[in-house]
Amino acid sequence: MERVGKKERQYVEEVLSMNFRSSAGYKMTKRLEEAFVEKFDSKYAIAFCNGTATLHVALEAAGVGMGDEVIVPPLTMSSTTFGVLHANATPVFADVDPDTFVISADSIEKCITHRTKAIIVVSLYGLAPDFDRINAIAKKHNLVVIEDDAQCFLGKYKGKTVGTLGDMASFSFQSSKHITSGEGGMLITTNLEYAEKIRKYSCLGYAGVSTNKGKISKTDIQEPDYSRHVSLGWNYRMSDVCSAVALGQLEHIEELVEMRIKSAKLFAEAIRNSKILIGQKEPEGYLNSYWAYTAKLVDDSIGWKRFRDKYLELGGDGIYAAWKLTYQEPFFKNMTFLRREELLNKDVNYSDGICPVAEYLQPRLLQFKTNYFDFEIAKRKADVLAETIKYFE
């Protein structure tokens, strides 16, 4: 299987043949948005330049701002928290489940205050959290639920597709993701009010754009008294070239996801009887789409680096550590992003110990890549993993 196939190249050629004429608009981006609406049985889809901008604008559309708190997991790419900070809100970190590694509903409930406005839930490594409990908590406290599905395309939760379970869902097309256009993102929702705000905020606050229209008409813009900007906005639009690649990828997304699941199953089989590695638990009724296959090293006498080095020595590759917890990253510890002290609520705790499960897991997690476009290579790497385990056991 090719990472970039004939369709992607064909669609890019179609865009280039239009010579980037303004009159051509964003035709490929519109097609991509329509395809997402159909794929996820949603009502609105708005394309973005990346999957961090999506989270920022989702919060803006939900009315989140200074003084508001947004609950997020610390065990994920820091972009999730960046979106909160871009919206001038205060991130509050909820702990994760020790077996599934995703945000814990119990911890979410403990984090809620009178300032809480939203929860960003991350389907980590391709696995959904407990949406029934999280949505019940959100309903009880009148909170917005935003899905960060950067690592989860076509995952399932009790028969429902991940991306259809919150108020809004964000996707990323960064190069490591299930589908890619190099960079890019998508925000989907069934809520008209959110969709209208999302489009305007992502398109410089232009007056002429709407949920299904990302470009101002030529007639409007030629009028001398035309008022362009009706709100603050950002230039977060996705280019048609990137949309062309993403559309080609989306058209065979099932194949791309299946490839990752098949690779992950090989790694799962390799550790099935292991006493030192325990894989991410996939609860009954869930489907993990496996952006990565992840396991925790439970024998501290071995150590992460020593295990990784032996795996590489025996012929393995594509093994990564989990991200440092966001509140332990230098930018957060030093508060270098904070230009005005009042931007963060002072009574929120960011000291070590606030998320003990995440702090235990992070230095022990082994992330194995699953995007092996040659299945025989995936088999060899899984065999190497089994050999590495045998060496230490």
What whole-number distance in Å separates Cα of residue 322 and Cα of residue 21?
A: 44
Q: What torsion, rounded to 10 degrees, do the Cα atoms 322, 325, 331, 337 define?
A: 120
Residue showing tokens 């280019």: 239
Of 265, 172, 192, 242, which Cα lies nearest the Cα of 15? 242
- Asked if 326 contacts 76 with a C-beta cutoff of 8 angstroms, the reply is yes
Cα atoms in the Cβ-side hemisphere of radius 13 Å centred on 154: 19
- Asked if 57 contacts 202 with a C-beta cutoff of 8 angstroms, the reply is yes
Beta strand pairing call for 144-148 and 168-172 = parallel
What whole-number distance in Å separates Cα of residue 244 and Cα of residue 248?
A: 6
Can you say how many angstroms the Cα of residue 1 is from the centroid of all Cα atoms in its chain? 24
- Asked if 291 contacts 151 with a C-beta cutoff of 8 angstroms, the reply is yes
CA-based Rg of the chain, rounded to a whole angstrom? Answer: 22
What whole-number distance in Å separates Cα of residue 107 and Cα of residue 93?
A: 9
- Helix (H), strand (E) counts: the chain: 14, 14
**Active-site annotation, residues:** 177
Overall size of the chain counted in residues: 393
What whole-number distance in Å separates Cα of residue 102 and Cα of residue 128?
A: 7
Token code pair at residue 33? 């948005």
Residue 165 backbone class (left: φ over 0; alpha: ψ -120 to 50; beta: rest):
alpha
What whole-number distance in Å separates Cα of residue 339 and Cα of residue 372?
A: 43
SS3 assignment, position 69: strand
